[in-house]
A and B are shown apart, each in its own frame.
Chain A
Amino acid sequence: MAEESFLTDDFLRQLINVGEVDILVGLPTHNNAKTVGSIVHTIQTGILRGFPRERAVIINADGGSRDGTPELVTGASIDDVRPASNLYALRTLHSISTRYASSPASGGAFRTILAAAELLRAKACVVLSPEAANIEPEWLATFLRPIYRDDFDLVTPTYRRHKFDGLLITNLLYPMTRALYGIRIRESYSPEFGFSGRLATQFLAQNAWTDGTDGAGIELRFTLAAITGKFRICQSFLGEKIHIERRSADLVPALRQTVGALFSALEADFPVWSVVAGSEPAPVTGTDQGVLLGPLRVNRKRLREMFSAGVAELESVFQLILSPATLAELQQIARLEEEEFRYPAELWVRTVYEFAASYQKSVISRDHIVQALAPLFRGRVLTFLMEHRNASAEQVENSIEGLCLEFERLKPYLLQLWKLRE
């Protein structure tokens, strides 16, 4: 039996009133009343500056806010009944809202936005985070122009980050997706990105929305779908990465949404990534991202303790996931003193690949496999922090590049593990 429509009648009615659009801005929210008003205003300014003639809409997919967030969004429509006090709009600029669920889920929000994009036949879309503290009107053009003008299908952001910010990205997601899928996309998992209507339609139709993952890591899956679908991808520089609050301050949920999504995609994408060798850069627009070098307080002792405890406590789990050689090396590292501690890139890559292969084999619960990676990742983080304590921006970038090349070099090892599985 076909799934019933997940769009409410009221939302459909709103979409009918909006009609076909050129530009669609998706804004997933949950209790963002404090910031959403100014963010919507910034979005409107960006649309009116960059696309004054285009038909545009702001779609708010709300995950059950209780603070009046949706009302703030819809109240910001610019039309002949509600003219903007300080913005000039050539045409009506709708802001509409729907509650896709009573609790937030990025998959549900994104699915709603994609459905709206398809129904409104949007040409260029962007999803923005209500938590982006430094959002600028220019972001709209940054994301949308490459799609609207230059025919790209996906625009991922690049940021100016602190050298120790986004370590999951620099030490795993970026190098691994680059090595496997052959395209260098720095931020494949981001709350802000632009995409074409074509890509939205394809992803909406092909993605399994009822796989029980609640849409975890949907942003990453979307990027991977764009790669495997051979859509045109570029990256645009947004400036410094500042978010009001972390959606996933805890490591394990973050790993589920990112590494879990990546491992999960590998099975279906095997025909694609298995034949890729090397990698190509994705075009970048805007200034080079750069790195911030300010001091950062890190509890290295705690990181090392968590690594060592994890290696010890999860030995039986690791025996199922890792090769004996890899496990032995990890146990050896776990015994090192803090100052001597080093989790080398080659071993880290081997670890991750063995985790990926085990995930496919489902040697144990897949969720447990992802969770088991957490202490090992902490060990890798500790090494990265120690190695780059006094490193320059260039040295950090060189190191990340070295890790990426290691992932590419060892890719045959992953393929070998994969074949063993077969």
Chain B
Amino acid sequence: MPLNRDVLWYKDAIIYQVHVRTFRDSNGDGIGDFPGLSEKLDYLQELGVSAIWLMPFFPSPLRDDGYDISDYNAVHSSYGTLEDFRRLLGSAHDRGIRIVIELVANHTSDQHPWFQESRSSQANPRRDWYVWSDTDIRYKGARIIFLDTEKSNWAWDPISKSFYWHRFFSHQPDLNYDNPAVREQMWKVMQFWLEMGVDGFRLDAVPYLVEREDTNCENLPETHDVLKELRRKLEENYPGRMLLAEANQWPADLRPYFGEGDEFHMAFHFPLMPRMFMGLKLEDRKPITEILQQTPEIPSSCQWSLFLRNHDELTLEMVTDIERDYMYDSYAVSKMMRLNLGIRRRLAPLLDNDRRRIELMNGMLMSLPGTPIIYYGDEIGMGDNINLGDRNGVRTPMQWNGETNGGFSTAPADHLYAPLIQDPVYGYQAVNVLRQKASEHSLFNWMQRIIAVRRSTGAFGRGSIEFLYPANHRILAYVRRLANETILVVNNLSSTAQAVELDLSRYKATIPIEMFGRNMFPRVGDLPYLLTLGPYQFYWFRLRRI
């Protein structure tokens, strides 16, 4: 299946997020690798994904799961070789699957040769590649992001006897984007991978590229200038490739990252995600509709990127204090489940392994405006291990079958990069791909179906949205429209059966056709359209004028 040549491909995509280390170990060393991932491309194709987002696979001391890069133009030896990566890229493209990789542009590892040179002496030509200071009192307006581990955004370097700036861990010094040489170098990094054929970059931590005094050092105009410059070069030289912004910000602050369609193609909608969980727990659509009401229009070529869970904690930075407390009490009763300002748990455990809620959340993920991203393992309802430190509890090996090491690796169990989930509910013997593929009603097969239905129309990826606001606040209902296609989505956020009357007067005389079973429902007439929904049930209807 060749790649679709549409330059807006990302608007219709189903993206699968995976770390190569976690997916499949082909050489028995206990660590997933590119050949292993290539082996499993058929699985991903079968699931229906159209793009893979690969987390950092570059050489790294791995003190932050690869987000501490020590060489941008190579592959970490544990994961294979550049040639292995090239093969993966080709195989994926052959299956119509695109590859999006990480560009951790804000910072490097302190082991990166650039930083080693920079710290070596104040006269070194690369001294200005990082942000140095004689004091640790500059940029006081910048918040500390990793509150649990860092006390300051400045770290003392005993070698050059000065402070260096870091927004994340102290072993991740920030690059100095005021330096044109840094900007040029980062473009060269991008070119390296683009020439190889990668289809896009997920740019990590973009709000923090530039620092200015008397600001919070986030979302600065100078940062946008840097990003626009990269986008311009990308557009001129590699049209059809995509930039995805990781900027954990409020919608209004996110909007500038799209520019006038000349900055990012996509950006994660961070504030929506916790509010989906909140709406589900509250059994009230208000948090979801409110954040979407606050979400500004974006240029037509741009797209929101939606997700339920990812490799990080369920971030609660973009919620109020009341909402955060509620989320903690609802989803992270044990303090061990909390990290920084978030909750380090996977989707299934967050939802008490309740199949109805898992389906409803995925239903919303697939039908709200944006491109859905599925975190590896969530398609089979994998669990987490909160006994592992940091965010490693949600980064355990993929569970392929019930055999040794869950089919992930042939290495001895104590050689695996991380232990498999072994508990009775989520352990690999109970939750694995092989078992689920064999069961018609498994979560995997259900995910496969919903992805297929989602891909059967462009309305979900590109259509407009109109909320219906029925008087029953437990019902989240909206209409997605694209050209002549109209889709009605009705979600019951409640744990109990609900009746709802929908004002479908604009769609009078249409026949609702349920998209999964393709059954007709009564024609829309003059009266409010009455629907009853079971607990956590949702409907997708095509409204057909026949």
Task: Report A's interface with B, CB cutoff 8 A.
Answer: 13-14, 16-17, 19-20, 52-53, 55, 79-81, 83, 88-92, 94
Contacts and interface: CB of A to CB of B under 8 A. Distances in A.
B73 interface: no
Interface string B460-492: 000000010111111000000000000000000
Interface of B: 278, 282-287, 289-290, 293, 320, 322-323, 326, 467, 469-474, 494, 496, 498-499, 501
A20 B320 CA distance: 26
Given A20-B496, A80-B289, A80-B290, A90 B474 contact: no
B473 A79 contact: yes
Contact of A14 (B278, B286, B467, B471): B471
Contacts of B285: 80, 92
Contacts of B287: 90-91
A90 B282 contact: yes
Contacts of A53: 282, 326
A91 B322 CA distance: 11
A90 B471 contact: no
A103 to B, nearest CB: 29
B290 A19 contact: no
Nearest to B494: A19
A50 to B, nearest CB: 13
A91 B286 contact: yes
B111 to A, nearest CB: 45
Nearest to B289: A80
Task: Indicate the member of A52, A80, A89 with the most B CB atoms within 10 Å.
Answer: A80
Contacts of B323: 90
B272 to A, nearest CB: 14
Contacts of A13: 471, 501
B498 A19 contact: yes
A94 B498 CA distance: 17
Given A92-B284, A92-B473, A94-B473, A80 B293 contact: yes
A19 B287 CA distance: 18
B472 A16 contact: yes
Minimum-distance CB pairs A-B, first 5: A17-B471, A92-B473, A80-B289, A91-B284, A17-B472
13 contacts: A13-B501, A14-B471, A19-B494, A20-B496, A53-B282, A80-B290, A80-B469, A83-B290, A89-B286, A90-B287, A90-B322, A90-B323, A92-B286
Contacts of B326: 52-53, 90
Contacts of B289: 80
Nearest to B528: A13
A17 to B, nearest CB: 4
Nearest to B472: A17
Given A16-B499, A79-B473, A80-B289, 8 more contacts: A19-B283, A19-B494, A55-B283, A88-B322, A90-B286, A90-B287, A92-B473, A94-B473
A367 to B, nearest CB: 44
A81 B282 contact: no
Contacts of A89: 286
Contacts of A79: 286, 473
Contacts of A17: 470-473
Contacts of A16: 472, 499
B320 A88 contact: yes
Nearest to B474: A19
B472 A19 contact: yes
A88 B321 CA distance: 11
A17 B471 CA distance: 6
Nearest to B278: A90
Contact of B322 (A14, A52, A94): A52
Contacts of B473: 17, 19, 79-80, 91-92, 94
A91 B287 CA distance: 7
Contacts of A83: 290
A14 B473 CA distance: 11
A90 B288 CA distance: 11
A136 to B, nearest CB: 21
A94 B473 CA distance: 9
A89 B290 CA distance: 11
B288 to A, nearest CB: 8
A81 B469 contact: yes
A89 B326 CA distance: 12
Nearest to B473: A92
A177 B212 CA distance: 74
A94 to B, nearest CB: 7
A13 B471 CA distance: 9
Nearest to A89: B286
B299 to A, nearest CB: 26
A411 B469 CA distance: 61
B174 to A, nearest CB: 35
Contacts of A88: 320, 322
B453 to A, nearest CB: 27
Contacts of B278: 90
A79 B496 CA distance: 20
A53 B320 CA distance: 13
A168 to B, nearest CB: 44
A54 to B, nearest CB: 10
Nearest to A78: B286
A16 B500 CA distance: 9
Contacts of B322: 52, 88, 90
A286 B491 CA distance: 44
B533 to A, nearest CB: 12
A153 to B, nearest CB: 25
Contacts of B472: 16-17, 19
A134 B511 CA distance: 55
A83 B496 CA distance: 26
A210 B471 CA distance: 33
Nearest to A80: B289
Task: Indicate the member of B284, B285, B469, B499 with the most A CB atoms within 10 Å.
Answer: B284
Contacts of A80: 285-286, 289-290, 293, 467, 469, 473
Contacts of A52: 322, 326
Contacts of B496: 19-20
B360 to A, nearest CB: 17
A89 B469 CA distance: 17
Nearest to B467: A80
A90 B326 CA distance: 9
A77 to B, nearest CB: 9
Contacts of B498: 19
B366 to A, nearest CB: 22
B470 to A, nearest CB: 8
B162 to A, nearest CB: 45
Contacts of B286: 79-80, 89-92
A45 B102 CA distance: 47
Nearest to B323: A90
A77 B10 CA distance: 40
B327 to A, nearest CB: 10
A55 B472 CA distance: 13
A132 to B, nearest CB: 28
A55 B495 CA distance: 14
Nearest to B293: A80
Nearest to A48: B322
Nearest to B290: A80
A79 B323 CA distance: 16
A83 B473 CA distance: 13
Contacts of A90: 278, 282, 286-287, 322-323, 326
A58 to B, nearest CB: 14
B182 to A, nearest CB: 42
B370 to A, nearest CB: 19
A80 B496 CA distance: 21
A83 B286 CA distance: 10
A52 B323 CA distance: 10
Contacts of A94: 473
A130 B470 CA distance: 29
A80 B278 CA distance: 14
Nearest to A14: B471
A275 to B, nearest CB: 44
A80 B326 CA distance: 19
A326 to B, nearest CB: 61
